[in-house]
Chains A and B, each alone.
Chain A
Amino acid sequence: MQSIKRPLRLAFAVTERVFDRAFGPAWNPLHNLGALGFFYYWIVAVSGIYLYIGFDTGVERVYASIERLTHAQWYLGGVMRSLHRYASDALVAMALLHLLREFSFDRMRGVRWFSWLTGVPILWLVYASGVSGYWLVWDELAQYIALTTSEWLDALPFFGEPIARNFLAPNSLDDRFFTLLIFMHIAIPLILLFILWVHLQRLSKPRINPPRGLAIGTLAMMLALSLVHPAVSQPPADLAKVPGDVGLDWFYLAAYPLFDHLSYAWVWGLAGVLTVGLAALPWLPPLRRPRAAVVDLEHCNGCGRCVQDCPYAAVAMVPRSDGQPFAQQAVVDAALCVGCGICMAACPPSMPFRRIAELATGIDVPDASLNDLRERTHAAAERLSVSPRVLVFGCDCSVDMAALANESVAGVSLPCIGALPPSFVDYVLSRGLADGVFLTGGSEGACVNRLGIQWTELRMDGERDPRLRDRVPRERMARRWAARHEATSLAGEIAAFRAQLATLPAIRPPAPAQPADIRETVA
């Protein structure tokens, strides 16, 4: 599986960088795939309501009613129809890209299975919505879809009278069928919307709206396409004839030609295996499962920052149970926690300055604890021998820290850069552990842990608690979000940062421990 994921991730990382240059990280469509999906859904919904008003469900009149909308009312009905079609197609393209991207980032392993598993029925519902829509038009494409789909459904042993017998001859079809079909074409997308809502239940602050610039650009593109190349029907269906050449919508119907090459039973088997295989991916080995965060009530003051910052809604506040004079305390739901450590960095007592032998805080992750982080920071600082010395804090999903190391650069890798309490930057610089601190992590807008980079930027810029203290010399800090393949350019930026540090007065490297120097600092 890694052999698919790695190249896929590289492909995404490289393409995203290209898009970053034109759109900027915030507007980058590849960083907004899920949100774009919602946006397309709303375009489809609004245009669909308009089309429904002009739609006639009589067998003889369906086709004519759509033709009227398309041609006589091209400026409104026609545009609505085109928007309906193209936004539906874009929805499929988005859903597939989004699936691949989440897969390549491993955003579905272990406790993160929920969004992935609920994504699987979403795919079925998206396709069913599209297929039922094309069926409604009752042109030659619809006839082709009617014949193949109904024969495929009849291959299941559930239906009594074969559905395909509705499409045998011109007089076998009645109006009731179209009434049923339009009911399905409305009901399926509504169920889809419901499952989309479920899809996001285990994420906090899911991004469901694209940034305005991207939304406007996308809508303008769709409108232009609808005017330049409007969606039209194929010749009307005629059950006395067999369809010959049909123009397929490959976004929805790419699998349909299979029906003519494999038996229906095989296609069912294939669809079943693909569905089950896709659904099982979160649990396939190798399943690395970091241990969940743990609350230490002695240090928890009930401030709720961990709840604010956890990207997976894995922490909640509950009434205090230990008699301390605070109203609330944090609890972690281990079934939702991915062990990213973002909560640890948010927790007020997560400070490296305190002089206790074993640092403790309100909420901590056993596999990358606060104490561990301080020890690794010291160990890295000791490897620095040539000034200006740069300490890099990075994350496990970005550039490999070992690849950057030399006598003046040392790295500390965290599960997520969002797991770095800002006070560590202060600590490193005020203690003279290095001359500069460089932060890096997955590429911008593409944080594997969703919100890690966003929170880091806000914290370091003093816009979100815990804030980096004002006394920290900002000229001794730099950051650059880099994807895994960007080690070379990252090294270049670190070298440039060193050159800038060289112009600043030197910092005294730490003297051997002098306990009297160390003040207890509390937020």
Chain B
Amino acid sequence: MTGVFRYAGQALAYLGFALLLGYFASAPAYTYRPADRAEVKLSFSHGGERKGGCRPLTPAEIAKLPPNMRRSQACPRERVPLVIEMDVGGQLAHREVLPPSGLSGDGPSRAYRRFQLPPGEHRLALRLRDSERRDGFDYESSFTVALRPRQNLVIDFRAEAGGFVIR
């Protein structure tokens, strides 16, 4: 092949590669979430009560402990699992039992859930149990929210703020 044709061939190859790079570096677009949806994220990190509560130690038990570790109560480290429920528009939309984290079950329970809802007004009711009770809930809240398309609404839980909060 003559020189000119060779360089033309090279130019063609470079052009092809450039087109490939230029196009696929940012296209075609991918639709992560449809435009006519909003998202509600339920996410929090909260530790349930310790299992069994504390119990006073007998004098004999106290005497057996090394002197620098003597205390009057034995408290279990393991926490109870949380129970979370969410209603959307009066219907149960989600129920989950959240075990505590950590190898000995002494860390907080963590929640991270996404829900897609159509935009518009929704009534959300949330309930959380974080104690040893068998039924009923320790925290309950409800919110009326007006969701815009592609809005990201976050429901967090903060015991120190008194329960569920919208962020």
Contact = CB atoms under 8 A, between A and B. Distances in A.
A151 B151 contact: no
Interface in B1-50: 1, 6, 8-10, 12-15, 17-18, 20-22, 24-35, 37-39, 41, 43, 45
Most buried by B among A86, A169, A228: A169
Given A247-B26, A257-B30, A241 B151 contact: yes
Contact of B112 (A23, A151, A247, A248): A151
A168 B167 contact: yes
A244 B33 contact: yes
A90 B25 CA distance: 10
B9 A229 contact: no
Interface in A209-224: 217-218, 220-222, 224
B159 to A, nearest CB: 16
Contacts of A243: 32-33
Interface of A: 19, 21-24, 27, 29, 85-86, 89-90, 93, 144, 151, 154, 160-162, 164-165, 168-169, 171-172, 217-218, 220-222, 224-225, 228-229, 231, 239-251, 256-257, 260
A192 B26 CA distance: 24
**7 tightest A-B CB contacts, nearest first:** A22-B9, A221-B14, A247-B26, A169-B167, A250-B24, A245-B29, A225-B18
B39 A86 contact: no
A182 B20 CA distance: 28
Interface string B90-116: 000000000001000001001010000
Chain B residues touching A, majority SS: mixed
B51 interface: no
Contact of B41 (A168, A218, A257): A168
B140 interface: no
Given A24-B6, A151-B112, A162-B110, A244 B21 contact: no
A231 B22 CA distance: 9
Contact of B6 (A21, A89, A165, A168): A21
A243 B22 CA distance: 23
A445 to B, nearest CB: 16
27 contacts: A21-B6, A23-B6, A24-B6, A89-B21, A93-B20, A168-B154, A171-B167, A217-B10, A217-B14, A221-B14, A221-B17, A221-B18, A225-B18, A240-B152, A241-B150, A242-B32, A242-B33, A242-B150, A243-B32, A243-B33, A244-B150, A245-B29, A247-B26, A248-B29, A248-B30, A250-B24, A257-B30
